[in-house]
Structure 1
Amino acid sequence: METGLDLANRFRDVIINGKWIANTNFKEQLTGTSLEMATSVLGSANSIAVLAQHIHYYINGLNTVFNGGTLDIKDQYSFDFRSLQTQEEWDYFLTTFWNHSETFANHVQSMSEATLSQVFVAEKYGTYRRNIEAMIEHSYYHLGQIVLLKKLVLQRNETL
């Protein structure tokens, strides 16, 4: 079984600094990305910015629980965000995303095996471990979308 440190490092791999599974991570893909690229919409797909905000929404929601708060996040609101209007807003969001991600990883890293095995909020949600693993897997899913969207937006812009 993975320890809290193992899970934290897997989470850091997908969000902050890893390359082992996808050969990239959120921070590498999003740092330096312009607001124009981040908010470009292709067909009915979500934008890069919306996907990043979506993952941040869940990280932040789990951080609230880790800090002793209630589980207030809901799937129905997980794509509802105020549109970003300036590069500064996008850059600020990214800084917040990285900070909240590191907070998440630090929480996970400090969890004992007993905590990881405890029920997360309610029986229907499973254990802390299950929710942390789901956050990692969910993040990889959307990271793949972001990588693909970046390529498609660049390709579209080259043909304009």
Structure 2
Amino acid sequence: MKQTKQLANRLREVILNGTWIANTNYKNQLEDLDWKLANVKFESFNTISDLAQHIHYYISGITNVFVNNTLEIRDKYSFDFSPIQSQQEWERFLNQFWNDTAQLANLIEKLPEETLNNEFVDKKYGTFLRNIDGMIEHSYYHLGQIVLIKKILLKN
């Protein structure tokens, strides 16, 4: 199997449909979650909504590089979101998250293998491979936080 297909499948796995690494994924954790619970602040932790939007921010930013060859996102803005105000708004966000993830996975899958070792916009950001791998690892890191926060909130 081509490396680009493997990377695309790993992204789909952590966000949309997999259980191999974490025995869950974002869609499984979020799709039936009430918007109010997603916005509950527990101690100094980020909210579940903040973490989901944070990961979506990076997925959108990387997608933009694939589509427009420009990197417009900045780490300092990766948690700057307006609060979700309703269940309908939460569900719209989740649908956008799933659709944008599927789009990025499809773009990764179609990427020529040799492009994986090319610079990602600028030499300082490393290669396409490094950024795709980093996105997947970053997603798993925050998925673990979401799972723990959700368990704490549902227990209380």
TM over 0.5: yes
Contact 2:57-2:78 at 8 Å conserved across structures: yes
Verify: 1:29 aligned to 2:32, yes or no.
no
Give the secondary-structure state (helix, strand or coil) at the position aligned to 1:67. helix
Q: How many residues align?
A: 156
In the alignment, structure 2 segments of 5+ residues that lack a partner are: none
In the alignment, structure 1 segments of 5+ residues that lack a partner are: none
CA apart distance, 1:117: 1.0
CA distance in 2, matches of 1:152, 1:75: 28
Give the secondary-structure state (helix, strand or coil) at the position aligned to 1:94. helix
Give the secondary-structure state (helix, strand or coil) at the position aligned to 2:68. coil
CA distance in 2, matches of 1:86, 1:47: 15
Amino acid at match of 1:118: N
Change (3 A) 1:77 1:62: same
| 1:72-111 correspondence runs (5 A) | 72-111=72-111
Amino acid at match of 2:153: V
Contact 2:118-2:127 at 8 Å conserved across structures: yes
CA distance in 2, matches of 1:67, 1:112: 14
Q: Which residue of 2 aligns with 1:127?
A: 127
CA distance in 2, matches of 1:16, 1:35: 19
CA distance in 1, matches of 2:108, 2:149: 30
Q: Which residue of 1 aligns with 2:137?
A: 137
Instruction: Show CA shifts across 1:5-59 (max 9, x none).
Output: 0000011110000000000000000011001110011011100000000000000
Give the secondary-structure state (helix, strand or coil) at the position aligned to 1:135. helix
Q: Which residue of 2 aligns with 1:6?
A: 6
Verify: 1:17 aligned to 2:23, yes or no.
no
Stretches of 4+ aligned residues off by more than 4 angstroms: none
* Superposition CA RMSD, Å: 1.1
Q: Normalising by structure 2, what TM-score?
A: 0.98
- Amino-acid identity (%): 54
CA apart distance, 1:69: 3.8
CA apart distance, 1:2: 6.0
